[in-house]
Chain A
Amino acid sequence: MAQTQTEAKPIVNRTQAQVWLRQMLLIRRFEERAEMLYQKGNKIGGFFHQYSGQEPVAVGSIGVLREDDYVITAYRDHGHALARGMSARAGMAELLGKVTGCSRGKGGSMHFFDAEKGFLGGHAIVGSHIALAAGVAFAMKYRGEDRVCICYFGDGAINQGSVHEAMNMAALWKLPVIYVVENNMYAMGTSLERSSAVVDLRLRGATAYGIPGFTINGNDIELMAKTTREAAARARAGEGPTFIEAQTYRYKGHSISDPGKYRHRDELDNAVKNDPIVVYENILKQRGWIDDAAIEKMRQDVKAEVEEAIEFAEQSEQPPLSDLYEDITVAPFIPQE
């Protein structure tokens, strides 16, 4: 996939570009270390879906939103959470099930939440959160605000019925929502060709509901940013939703337990050869915005941040078992036992 936009003309300034590069490095390192804790330390349980390879999608798009906008995503949520500014500490503590975690140890990898950052979660029923995004956008419109909600999901979600219901109403009512399908070519182990009658996903929104749709290289971080910025402007102006198909590639299997045997080795090798983080590093070097020493320092800083987060998570308390009945309802909860 060509890096056309980013190479052609910067759409951000140097400082912003460096922040984005650092965020991508942080997401990558966070997941690399979490995988080690999962595999070796048996410290992380449950399903664990990595975002590695897809970092520019989250960082580029969230990077152009306002602080008062909302972000919602599916179960591959570490990248979006960190891109939105969730601390590595809160994320790592959640993976370890600690009370200091972003969901107090009750959500785990698939259910990161951060109310302060407008991060409305990690949702693990495929496609189910896509209607929630329309609801958040509905609330913005109801109150006459010019905020937007961005909603990420995978190519597997596109075939869920609720997605069509939600997109129809979002278009009908011109709700300020930006739908981003991260097309990494596989729904778990099922390729797009084997699951979608129409593989040009942009057409799903465009043809059926008249939602402006764009198919772009999601690994081109600045193109991702530019497309999102335009979508957000449209939403704020009351022109309704936008559908962005961000083509990308996940390095890992669907989850940590998936060796990914359904795809050809060359496919992965090719993707890794064009690693979007390295590509962006090189572009920034060409622009004279960063040098090798600065990149190396950034990598060391990110490593230290993640190590510190692990230390924090490991030192944190387990939630007391009595917390089992906490946070079920706002009203005092009466167990019906």
Chain B
Amino acid sequence: MAVLSFREALNQAMTEEMERDDRVFLMGEEVAQYDGAYKVSQGMLKHFGARRVIDTPISEEGFAGIGIGAAMVGLRPIIEFMTFSFSLVAIDQIVNNAANMRYMSGGQFSVPIVFRGSSGMAGSLAATHSHRLEAWYAQIPGLMVLMPATPADAKGLLKAAIRCDDPVVFIEHEVLYPDRGEVPEGEHLVPIGKAEIKRPGNDVTLITYSRSLKVTMAAAEKLAEEGVDAEVIDLRSIRPLDMDTLINSIVKTHRAVIVEEDWPYCGLGAGISDRITRTIFDELDAPILRVASKDAPIPYNKAMEQSMLPSVQRVVEAVNGVVYREV
């Protein structure tokens, strides 16, 4: 199997899907002549030409809407946001138009579109360029929200997203782009709505996704050295959520910690925790704890920024809490 970077895996997914289906095109700021702000679309203009790899003005709301309109009449756009922080400019289009269209038309018009791009804290970008908005989008019926953590999943999930007949919000963590890993060649699809157990264990279930998987895996290794056997689940699909995998795991471990990079209040973990509690309260031997970012805008200062994030230390502390372990 080829070893690719996360960004190369995304590039391969788009390239394969565009080769397969002429209805698929890529549109966004600097995706073509500049080869992508984060080089995810490197070489695609040369390969596909300006008809299908399209540079836009800095007009997020406008080109998001253009993508939705094109999808309503049969194309399958991939809309790149340079960062998901900028998707806030386009959120009217994503929520009011893409998510609602099928419902409000009584099923007559669907919107097969992918909104993708980078997100997350990546090194002193300060508040406007570091947002994690998965909880915002995950709340909206009509949207799929996907967040891969590995190069293989990046490829498989993006291919599935492009083939999905519904609008997909596909959020890539900026610090994952250079990560390398084995990526299956050709027809590799990861189904939407399926979580994956990345590390089996018996003592506690760690639920996470995207960049936080790395932190969580590192915490699990540290815990193993200390005699705590953690099971790590990578959600991959934020909506729909794979509740079956979560429940099966917690029925085994009876304890859970959710590790998320978004804000704590009304964050993704709050919704997941609520669902688990209502579904299998009797199976829980401890309250579900959450390790999220701190409840503040993202600071520029490096040390302050790092203190915001879920860390190995904070994950270990939370696990100690749910297994009632005194250190």
Pairwise interchain contact A135-B72, C-beta atoms closer than 8 A: yes
In the complex with contacts A135-B67, A139-B75, A142-B75, A336-B240 CB distance below 8 A: yes
Pairwise interchain contact B61-A131, C-beta atoms closer than 8 A: yes
B200: Cβ under 8 A from any A Cβ: no
- Of B57, B67, B71, B97, most buried by chain A (CB within 10 Å of CB) is B97
Pairwise interchain contact A106-B104, C-beta atoms closer than 8 A: yes
Contact of A131 among B69, B101, B102 (CB under 8 A): B69
Pairwise interchain contact B104-A132, C-beta atoms closer than 8 A: no
Pairwise interchain contact A162-B65, C-beta atoms closer than 8 A: yes
- List the 8 closest A-B pairs by CB distance, nearest first: A135-B69, A131-B65, A165-B62, A104-B106, A132-B69, A330-B165, A165-B59, A327-B107
B271: Cβ under 8 A from any A Cβ: yes
In the complex with contacts A166-B65, A336-B239, A120-B97 CB distance below 8 A: no
Contact of A133 among B69, B240, B275 (CB under 8 A): B69
A189: Cβ under 8 A from any B Cβ: no
In the complex with contacts A120-B72, A125-B96, A165-B102 CB distance below 8 A: no
Separation in Å of the B166 CB from the closest CB of chain A? 4
Per-residue 0/1 for B70-109: is the Cβ within 8 Å of any A Cβ (1 yes, 0 no)? Answer: 1111110000000000000000110011000111111111
Pairwise interchain contact B106-A102, C-beta atoms closer than 8 A: yes
21 A-B residue pairs with Cβ-Cβ distance under 8 Å, sorted by A, are A70-B73, A104-B106, A105-B106, A107-B106, A115-B105, A120-B109, A121-B109, A125-B92, A128-B65, A130-B65, A142-B70, A165-B63, A169-B59, A327-B107, A329-B102, A329-B165, A329-B166, A331-B144, A331-B166, A333-B141, A336-B271
B176: Cβ under 8 A from any A Cβ: no
Question: A: which residues have CB within 8 A of B?
Answer: 70, 72, 101-107, 111, 113-115, 120-121, 123, 125, 128-140, 142, 149, 161-162, 164-166, 168-169, 172, 326-331, 333-337
Pairwise interchain contact B240-A334, C-beta atoms closer than 8 A: yes
Q: Chain B residues near A162 (CB, 8 Å)?
A: 61-62, 65, 92-93
Q: Chain B residues near A140 (CB, 8 Å)?
A: 73
Contact of A135 among B66, B96, B142 (CB under 8 A): B66
State in angstroms the CA–CA spacing of A329 and B68 once bound together: 15
Q: Chain A residues near B61 (CB, 8 Å)?
A: 131, 161-162, 165
B183: Cβ under 8 A from any A Cβ: no
In the complex, how many residue pairs between chain A and chain B have their CB atoms under 8 Å apart?
Answer: 161
Contact of A113 among B74, B104, B192, B239 (CB under 8 A): B104
Pairwise interchain contact A328-B142, C-beta atoms closer than 8 A: yes
Interface residues on B, range: 35 or more
Q: Chain A residues near B107 (CB, 8 Å)?
A: 104, 326-327
State in angstroms the CA–CA spacing of A102 and B105 once bound together: 8
Secondary structure of the A side of the interface?
A: mixed
Separation in Å of the B108 CB from the closest CB of chain A? 4
Q: Chain A residues near B102 (CB, 8 Å)?
A: 327-330
Separation in Å of the A131 CB from the closest CB of chain B? 2
Q: Chain A residues near B192 (CB, 8 Å)?
A: 331
Contact of A123 among B56, B73, B97, B106 (CB under 8 A): B97
State in angstroms the CA–CA spacing of A326 and B239 once bound together: 17
Contact of B164 among A137, A142, A331, A333 (CB under 8 A): A331
Pairwise interchain contact A131-B93, C-beta atoms closer than 8 A: yes
- Of B73, B108, B239, most buried by chain A (CB within 10 Å of CB) is B73
Q: Chain B residues near A169 (CB, 8 Å)?
A: 56-57, 59, 62-63, 66
Pairwise interchain contact B103-A166, C-beta atoms closer than 8 A: no
State in angstroms the CA–CA spacing of A140 and B75 once bound together: 10
Interface residues in B199-245 by Cβ distance below 8 A to A read 239-241
Pairwise interchain contact A168-B62, C-beta atoms closer than 8 A: yes
Interface residues in B143-185 by Cβ distance below 8 A to A read 144, 164-166
Q: Chain A residues near B104 (CB, 8 Å)?
A: 103, 106-107, 111, 113, 121
State in angstroms the CA–CA spacing of A86 and B104 once bound together: 16
Pairwise interchain contact B271-A113, C-beta atoms closer than 8 A: no
